[in-house]
Amino acid sequence: MARYLTGIQSSGIPHLGNILGAIKPAIEFSKNLNNDCLFFIADYHSLTTIKSAEERIKNIRSVAATWIAFGFDYNKNILFRQSDVKEVLELMWILNCFTPFPMLANAHSFKDKSDKLSDVNAGLFTYPVLMAADILLYDAQFVPVGKDQIQHIEIARDIASIFNGTYQTSSFVLPEAAVQAEAMTIPGTDGGKMSKSYGNFIDIYLEEKALRKVIMSIKTDSTPLELPKNTEGDTTFKLYSLLASEEETNHLKKLYENGNFGYGNAKQMLFDKIMEHFKEARDAYFELMAHPEKIDEILWVGAQKASKIAQTVLTRIKPLVGF
């Protein structure tokens, strides 16, 4: 059984793009009986940018509730909050002392963020070391990542190799990047990639009236109602096709091509499809968020399972450095 580890961002409430492009595919992957999956919510990492305790707690619960509502099996796999496993900070300090300064200075993510942010803190600089600790602490063999994150896995491997070489040991498992196929790009309300950064996202957990207003704000061209419309590049049609059956999608395509069908009608169909498609998940999410103690309990139980693995790894590592 291969062990996979995935870190989940806790920078906000998951939107439609996150759900369709990342969360649902990861949940399907976790159902493979040959995979041992650890999924953690990276709340320590979020501290580099988010300073509000209230916002962080809300985000953590919202992210966890979304994964659970969409069917993640937290009994078969492990779902936990990063900060509930304190061993990760102990290992991070040990790894810091084996990490060459130039390795961090040359990290792509730090260069990129330091150019864009006014608050360039030490956490951003040592971010890759904490990520390495996240991975090495659990003997993770594979870490699913996009192409832009491969360097983080390479840094984790390099740090582990330096440690192993220093003590002539194989105590750290060298992780491999499980490079994901190009993630599906989900269009936002302006037609660009859906992102909170661009303010073009769709929050499926909004109250119905507010959600409908967002759907109705999707940008379209100026083709008059009576004329045929092109589905190619149309955001409303694209989003509908991601949720609807092939038969339903073909029906909407014909409506576009036949004319006498307005974009407002298409948007109403998209809104109805979202409400239908996500009804069970929305209900489950709202139930969980109404009882945050249930979410906290699930994450805590997962953290106890993760801690057992972490303690086993630290027991191998600490005597080598004299602790």
Structure-block tokens of residue 187: 């269009």
| Residue 279 bears catalytic tag | no
- Per-residue pLDDT, 215: 98
Q: Where are the domains of the chain?
A: 2-185+292-321, 205-277
Selecting among 113, 238, 253, 305, the annotated active-site residue is 113
Residue with tokens 């260069």: 111
pLDDT at 230 over 80: yes
**Which tens digits make up the pLDDT trace of 54-94?**
999 999 999 999 999 999 999 999 999 999 999 999 999 99
- 144 has which bridge partners? 178
pLDDT grade for 182, boundaries at 50, 70 and 90: low
d(Cα 92, Cα 100) in Å, to the nearest integer?
A: 14
- 37 has which bridge partners? 4
pTM over 0.85: yes
- If one compares 117 and 188, the residue with the highest pLDDT of the two is 188
3-state secondary structure of 141: coil
> Which architecture, in CATH terms, is 205-277?
Orthogonal Bundle (1.10)
- Per-residue pLDDT, 52: 96
**Which tens digits make up the pLDDT trace of 101-137?**
999 988 887 877 776 777 788 998 999 999 999 999 9
Q: Which residues of 293-321 are buried (b: 16+ CB within 10 A; e: fewer)?
A: ebbbebbebbbebbbebbeebbeebeeee
- Per-residue pLDDT, 277: 97
**One-character DSSP codes across 223-267:** --TTS----TT-HHHHHHHHHS-HHHHHHHHHHHHHSS--HHHHH
**Which tens digits make up the pLDDT trace of 6-59?**
999 888 899 999 999 889 988 988 887 667 899 999 999 999 989 999 999 999
- Per-residue pLDDT, 289: 98
**Which tens digits make up the pLDDT trace of 144-159?**
887 778 899 999 999 9
- Per-residue pLDDT, 101: 95
Pick the closest to residue 215 from 259, 274, 262 (CA basis): 274
d(Cα 23, Cα 33) in Å, to the nearest integer?
A: 18
| Residue 196 bears catalytic tag | yes
Q: What is the CATH number of domain 2-185+292-321?
A: 3.40.50.620
pLDDT at 183 over 70: no
Selecting among 193, 238, 253, 305, the annotated active-site residue is 193
pLDDT grade for 165, boundaries at 50, 70 and 90: very high
Give the CA-trace dihedral at 311, 33, 294, 290, to 10 degrees: 140
Pick the closest to residue 197 from 59, 23, 16, 12 (CA basis): 12
What mean pLDDT comes out for the span 252-267?
96
| Residue 193 bears catalytic tag | yes
pLDDT grade for 140, boundaries at 50, 70 and 90: very high
What mean pLDDT comes out for the span 269-288?
98
| Degrees, nearest 5: CA angle 245-246-250 | 120
The pLDDT mean for the chain works out to 93
- Per-residue pLDDT, 11: 82
Calculate the alpha carbon distances from 81 to 38, 111, 135, 217, 306 in Å.
11, 28, 14, 36, 10
Selecting among 31, 76, 116, 196, the annotated active-site residue is 196
Structure-block tokens of residue 151: 């360097």
Residues contacting residue 5 through CB under 8 Å, at least 6 positions apart: 37, 38, 39, 40, 134, 135, 138, 140, 142, 143, 175
Residues contacting residue 190 through CB under 8 Å, at least 6 positions apart: 198, 200, 219, 235
- If one compares 202 and 182, the residue with the highest pLDDT of the two is 202
